[in-house]
Amino acid sequence: MAQNSSSEKLYESYYMRVFSYAMTLTGDRMEAEEITQETMFRAISHRNSFRGDSDEVTWLCAIAKNFFLDEQKRRSRHTPFPAEMPETGTGMEQELSDRDSSFRIHMALHALEEPYREVFELRVFGELSFREIGTIFAKTENWARVTYHRARLKLQERMENK
């Protein structure tokens, strides 16, 4: 029963943070939910493998990232079908404009070199603290702050030049 209580606590404490991190990796809600569920399952199933060298949320994010990368490799072996075109309607011009803006932002973010891109995504989309980001990279909290600030400046500069 203690294991079940511990598992429930882990799930309740970190589900949304792992989900937010998975959203930064995928940009897709359903895929992020799948990654989060699988992460929680793996963490609960292999709870005894947690050595305590880092925070639990850092351990969970590492599991999520590894699962995501494994899925990317698996999917790269298959040719995906093209995405469906948006339905025609009165809001199509606005939708295309929004998509264009979103696409430009994602292109600028994608072109951002590491570790700036990942630090920015962890902070903005993953809503992780600078301390947690520093822990993920085995760096200091101050390093995470400076890297995030530089990433923001680089993104702003790239968006202004486009």
Measure the CA–CA gap between 41 and 55, rounded to whole angstroms: 18
- Domains of the chain in start order, with CATH, are 1-77 (1.10.1740), 93-162 (1.10.10.10)
pLDDT value at residue 100:
66
End-to-end C-alpha distance for the chain, whole angstroms: 58
Q: What is the pLDDT of residue 88?
A: 44
Cα 19 to Cα 126: distance, rounded to the nearest angstrom: 8
Q: Please give the model's pTM, rounded to 2 decimal places.
A: 0.48
Tens place of pLDDT per residue across the chain (162 aa): 455 667 778 788 888 888 888 888 888 888 888 998 998 888 888 777 776 666 788 888 888 888 888 888 777 765 444 444 444 444 545 555 566 666 777 777 778 888 888 888 888 877 788 888 888 888 898 999 999 889 888 888 877 776
What is the pLDDT, as a whole number, of residue 80?
A: 47
Q: What is the pLDDT of residue 22?
A: 87
- Under 8 Å CB-to-CB from 40, ≥6 apart: which residues? 10, 11, 14, 15, 18, 60
Summarize pLDDT for 111-150 with one digit per residue, the tens: 888 888 888 888 887 778 888 888 888 889 899 999 988 9
Predicted local distance difference test score (pLDDT) of residue 83:
46
Residue 137: the pLDDT is 87
